[in-house]
Structure 1
Amino acid sequence: MKFEPKSEKTRAWIIETTAGIFNKKGYAGTSISDLTEATGMTKGAIYGNFENKEDIAVAAFEYNLKVRIGIIRSALEKAATYREKLLLYADIYRPSRKTPFPEGGCPMLNTAVEADDTHELLREKAAQALENSRRFLEELVNKGMAAGEFVQGINARKFATGMLSMIEGGIMLAGTTKKNKDMELVMDAVADLVNGICV
């Protein structure tokens, strides 16, 4: 029999309330006590709206991802050229900008690092999110070439893969060293990469 939550409104509130906890502590590190404390609900009340902890974790990841995507797309709408869009995509990760990303940072990186060898469903979710991000960047490069902004013949997928890897690697580096300057340096390198394909 298919699981049916008691209340979609309550379910959405639980997701929003616990999303930051899962993003910071991860699936394994988040306990039911963390969830009951954050929501003020009993274990039974929480599980009346979710099948299990995995169900909550997946929903929290999808919520955090949606917030991240919304922030990026909103920022890019203000850009007039594809060069500006690529530069802005990276620039919003600069610590100096103080972009209000989901609590705990990048949900793709956090989930991928934790789940790569421990939780297949979350690993698949993170992998799909990373692939979607790569395709988005690839599309910007292709559109930029078509508009005559970028030099012709660029391997858009290769470029997008490199750019995404630099950004996610920069997040990991800065998060580990606790030095915002590291992230700023990576974003400077990404800007050089983007400017290097402009006509």
Structure 2
Amino acid sequence: MEQELKTEATRKLITEKAFQHFYKNGFKSTSVNEIMKATGLSKGAFYHNFKNKDELGVLVVKEELNTRIYNAMISPLYAEGEAKTILRTTFLNKFQAFTSDEKLMGCPVNNLINEIGGSQNLLNEALKDLIDTWVQAVVKIIERGHKDGSIKPETNAQQAAIYLVSSFEGMRGIRKLYSNDLNWNAYRAALEEYINQL
């Protein structure tokens, strides 16, 4: 039991440090040596827990990125209340909460998608599962809005969900190009207007 806890703690430490390095420097640019140096553990500890960097990347997506997206963008959609208000609050509150560093660095999910998307591997599959889960949560809140009357019945839930998730992620990527919030604020206003007209 004690060994299992130690192994779990080691895997968690490696995963957390890997996430920080992938977010700051990119997945491909980050070496196993850099990650292990940040943990203070030996390279042998890495290979005792992971076959390779791709396997670690999958765990980063499933543990670190899934948790971040779930807590910020999925869990709030299941709150009690009027669907459109919940949808608006979830997207706009998160959008306004990003720090200056997060604006400059972009979204860790989007960054990873842009870096490795399209490859046929487990890391790509883990990213698709994450996005699919997010989109389906948005679909469900829109369908709830159909029932409570806050969202027009003719609103196509799947199309609106894909648009909301992809535009939100897209703006996070675009913001990395600019040193000010002019486009960021314009998008925020457009996002609110889009949700209001659903």
TM-score normalized by the length of structure 1: 0.83
The percentage of counterpart residues that share the same residue type is 24
Q: Which residue in 2 is equivalent to 1:156?
A: 157
Q: Which residue in 2 is equivalent to 1:40?
A: 40
Alpha-carbon distance change, 54 to 36 in structure 1, aligned in 2, over 3 angstroms = same
CA contact (8 A) 1:170 1:183 kept: yes
Whose helix fraction is larger, Structure 1's or Structure 2's?
2
Q: Which residue in 1 is equivalent to 2:146?
A: 145
Q: Which residue in 2 is equivalent to 1:9?
A: 9
Query: Which amino acid in structure 2 is aligned with residue 184 of structure 1?
Result: N
Q: Structure 1: which 5+ residue stretches go unaligned?
A: none
Q: Which residue in 1 is equivalent to 2:111?
A: 110
* SS of structure 1 residue aligned to 2:27: helix
Within 5 A, what are the aligned runs for 1:64-143?
64-73=65-74, 75-76=76-77, 80-94=81-95, 96-98=96-98, 105-118=106-119, 120-143=121-144
CA contact (8 A) 1:141 1:150 kept: yes
Partners in 2 of 1:35 and 1:89 — Cα distance? 33
CA contact (8 A) 1:6 1:48 kept: no
Deviation of the 1:58 alpha carbon: 1.3
Query: Which amino acid in structure 2 is aligned with residue 163 of structure 1?
Result: L
Partners in 1 of 2:37 and 2:120 — Cα distance? 25
CA contact (8 A) 1:76 1:88 kept: no
CA contact (8 A) 2:58 2:123 kept: yes
Partners in 2 of 1:132 and 1:74 — Cα distance? 11
Partners in 1 of 2:24 and 2:54 — Cα distance? 16
Query: Which amino acid in structure 2 is aligned with residue 162 of structure 1?
Result: Y
Partners in 2 of 1:137 and 1:73 — Cα distance? 8
Partners in 2 of 1:93 and 1:168 — Cα distance? 12
Moved more, 173-182 or 32-41: 173-182
Question: When the two structures are aligned, how many residues end up with a matched partner?
Answer: 192
CA contact (8 A) 1:61 1:107 kept: no
Partners in 2 of 1:122 and 1:178 — Cα distance? 31
